[in-house]
Amino acid sequence: MSESQRRPLPHEYHPPVPAFEVTSTDFVPGATLPQAHTFAADNLSPQLSWSGAPVGTKSYAVSCFDPDAPTGSGFWHWVVFDIPADVTELPTGAGSGDFKGLPRGAVHVRNDYGTRDYGGAAPPPGDGPHRYVFTVYAVDQEKLGPDSDATPAVIGFNLRFHALGRAQVIAEYEQRS
């Protein structure tokens, strides 16, 4: 997919909010997402840590979205929210398996695989590189409101009105034919 054909990121439709910093020890921004974070391999959520969230942050939400999926609406790989404000890191695998490292009270909603966890990268073979956008939202409430039966769209709707800040890091992944 050429740069001019790339689809917009979901938060490009939201009001602007201050940016803060998110990094990962598992991948380099803009580089290839390692195999461990793909659906066909270990299917592990990557390590994420963040800093510089705005004053007034009462919780966080984290998502992973592939805007380049050939669906017309992208593909949600991971949505977790109600992460306490004193948490500024999710270790590798926090969104996978036994959720070791996921803070108490955090809520997963179903991803587009239909599961309540991290679902790794799995673009169709030969479809070119896809972007995997990991976003951390600083939220103005301890509890965003929805429960685990909400859809990623409902979470996005709520974040539109409750995000104080946003940080993102992007990796790419491609399955060759």
The range of the structural domain enclosing residue 93 comes to 3-170
pLDDT value at position 57? 98
Q: Tell me, yes or no, whether 124 lies in a domain.
A: yes
Q: Tell me, yes or no, whether 58 lies in a domain.
A: yes
Sheet with 48-51, edge to edge strand ranges: 21-23, 48-51, 89-90
Query: Is pLDDT of 177 > 80?
Result: no
Q: What is the pLDDT of residues 132-163, one digit of tens each?
A: 999 999 999 999 999 999 999 999 999 999 99
Cβ contacts of residue 175 below 8 Å, gap of 6+? 122, 123, 124, 125, 126, 127
Q: Considering only residues 136 and 176, tell me which one the structure prediction assigns the higher pLDDT.
A: 136
Round the CA-based radius of gyration of the chain to a whole number and report it.
Answer: 15
Q: Tell me, yes or no, whether 159 lies in a domain.
A: yes
Q: Tell me, yes or no, whether 175 lies in a domain.
A: no
Query: Is pLDDT of 17 > 80?
Result: yes
Backbone angles phi, psi at 155, to 5 degrees: -65, -45
Q: What is the pLDDT of residues 49-65, one digit of tens each?
A: 999 999 999 999 999 99
**Confidence (pTM):** 0.95
Q: Tell me, yes or no, whether 135 lies in a domain.
A: yes
pLDDT value at position 6? 73
pLDDT value at position 4? 43
Q: What is the pLDDT of residues 84-137, one digit of tens each?
A: 999 999 999 999 999 999 999 999 999 999 999 999 999 999 999 999 999 999
Q: Tell me, yes or no, whether 177 lies in a domain.
A: no
Q: Tell me, yes or no, whether 103 lies in a domain.
A: yes
pLDDT value at position 5? 60
Q: Considering only residues 1 and 83, tell me which one the structure prediction assigns the higher pLDDT.
A: 83
CATH of the domain at 44: 3.90.280.10
pLDDT value at position 161? 96
pLDDT value at position 53? 98
Q: Tell me, yes or no, whether 13 lies in a domain.
A: yes
Residue matched to tokens 């963040």: 50
How many structural domains comprise the chain?
1
